[in-house]
Structure 1
Amino acid sequence: MPRSGRHSSSHNRSTSSHAPPSGPDAGYYERAREPLASLALLLPLLVFHELGVLYAEVGPADPAPSTVEAYRWIEQGIARFGLIGAAPAILTLVLLVGLHIWRGASWTFSPKLPALMFAESIAWMAPLLIGQAVLGAAVFAVAAGSADWVGLLNIAIGAGLYEELLFRLIIVGGLHWVLTTVVGMEGWRPGAIAVGVSATLFALYHDLSPDQGRDVAGLFLLYAAGGVYFGVLYLLRGFGITATTHALYDVCVLFVASDVSL
């Protein structure tokens, strides 16, 4: 959500939760939330996912799915502007670099930062795995069909990257910016509204059909709860950690139960 020109005092207050102190003296908590740190953490995943999509296209004559609907939606949307080929990955890069420039954050960081962020993502994944164990179901994983291990890994990574790009970076981040900067809303309400809207859309994005006697209302609530979890995590810890947490969770789930569509 880049914006040129001078920033008003109300704008500075409204974006304080998204623009923590930057620079060499900033601590890990602040630096890990910066867009450049997110890009450093996610760049290997972006490259792997694009290679996986390419592998599926040039591989078997009847390839299994190799990515998620969010990726295809973003790809189709960008194609309207004449851009094709790895466009969602390029969009991710452009958004993160643009946000970093807009916030005036430092362009230097410790090489250890991505590793620390990856470790933190594993910690944030733990509550999801505990919830799965308690509920006896894979709560947020995507359908994998007959994909091989490369396809499974690519689907999991694609869900983490592009569902979070769409529902958290764009929708939560964009709506929060509108509510604080344009509407002038303050306090906890902008975040709560942005997370609530995104969580609802995240739930509706998934398959809620009553096939095989599935509880549609229960599925909706599970997906919405997942959307709330990831939305709050995004506001607290930024895009990189949220996307990596989501991807790691889906990797765990898809390799254990690849036929789950929940």
Structure 2
Amino acid sequence: MPKQETSYWSATHSPLYSFVFTLPLFILYELGMLFLSAEDIIVLRNGADVLMRQVLGLFGIYGAYGFSATFMIGFTIAFLRQKKALKSMVIRGEYLLTMFFESILYSALLFVLLGFFQTLLMSPSSKQLFQQIILSLGAGIYEEFVFRVIMISGIAALLGLIFQWKSTARYAGGVLIAAGIFSMFHFVGDYGDTYSMNLFMIRFIAGVLLGIVYALRGFGIAAYTHTIYDLGVLTALATSENPA
């Protein structure tokens, strides 16, 4: 039987490509944390990262890297399951490169829609550029994992169970509800932003757009889109604060 070809769109939407594609972001984020003080780590761990670490702590999983290890184990399982199911075992480099440029395109669209407000999608807790860059890397991974992968899938399943909605309706509901939670979460805690309706709506719209990217293109591209957008806003802010 001839080997079935997998299209770019279906292959790159898979957990396998998301795992490989986001691995550099994960490594850069965790390596960046090694260069920060213990106090900085407590302050800088982005909201979704801190939330998941606290939840895991309730089940006895402690330590600064408890979530990191759990994240990697979960993604490795998805990686192995997907790889076993695929006809081909080859990861195509041109697909990964195209995914990167696709993420740049989506982040540019996000910047056009929201960039005039120059709003970071994570809650900035420090004005040091290096720390903000590290936080942007973590926000792309952990916030997309929590607020898109876990929440959209979980809420969609719950809506389907309760209301017996069809797939499109329950995932649309999941995207909207998760976007609202995503926006509200940035105002919670000691390092959250001061609440304002304008800021809530900006992040809500961003959450909806990122949710659509996740639903249509998968976790990997959503994570890079989030990260590249935040880095673009950081660059714009740094340029405006320090004009040539």
Q: TM-score, normalization: structure 2?
A: 0.81
Q: Paired residue for 1:82?
A: 60
Contact map agreement 2:139 2:227 (CA 8 A) in 1: yes
Deviation at 1:221, TM superposition (A): 1.3
Alpha-carbon contact 1:128-1:249 (below 8 Å) kept? yes
Q: Which moved more, 1:43-52 or 1:173-182?
A: 173-182
Structure 1 stretch displaced more, 154-163 or 70-79: 70-79
C-alpha RMSD of matched pairs (Å): 2.7
The percent identity for this pair of structures is 26
Q: Which has the higher helix share?
A: 2
| Contact map agreement 1:152 1:255 (CA 8 A) in 2 | no
| Aligned mates of 1:101, 1:40 — CA distance in 2 | 12
Deviating runs (4+, > 6 A) in structure 1?
none
Aligned residues: 227
**SS of match in other structure, 2:36:** helix
Match in the other structure for 1:137:
118
Contact 2:111–2:229 (8 Å) recurs in 1: yes
The one-character-per-residue Cα deviations of 1:133-166 (angstroms, maximum 9, x if unpaired) are 4x343263531423342x1211101111111111
Deviation at 1:114, TM superposition (A): 1.9
> Counterpart of 1:147?
128
Per-residue CA deviation, residues 85-131 of structure 1 (Å, 9 max, x unaligned), is 42222232233333455666425421332222111100110111112
Code of the aligned partner of 2:22: L
Q: 1:130 to 1:208 in 2, by over 3 A?
A: farther
Residue matched to 2:76: 97
Structure 2: unaligned runs, 5 residues or longer: 239-244
**Which residue, 212, 215, 219 being the options, matches 1:239?**
219
- TM-score normalized by the length of structure 1: 0.76
Distance 1:216 1:110 in 2: 45
> 1:17-47, CA deviations, whole angstroms, 9 ceiling, x for partnerless residues?
xxxxxx8611110011111100101111111
Instruction: Please give the alpha-carbon distance, in whole angstroms, between the structure 2 residues aligned to 1:102 and 1:185.
Output: 28
Shift of 1:82: 3.0
The 3 A distance-change label for structure 1 pair 176 and 96 is farther
Match of 1:69 among 40, 44, 47: 47
Q: CA deviation at 1:252?
A: 1.4
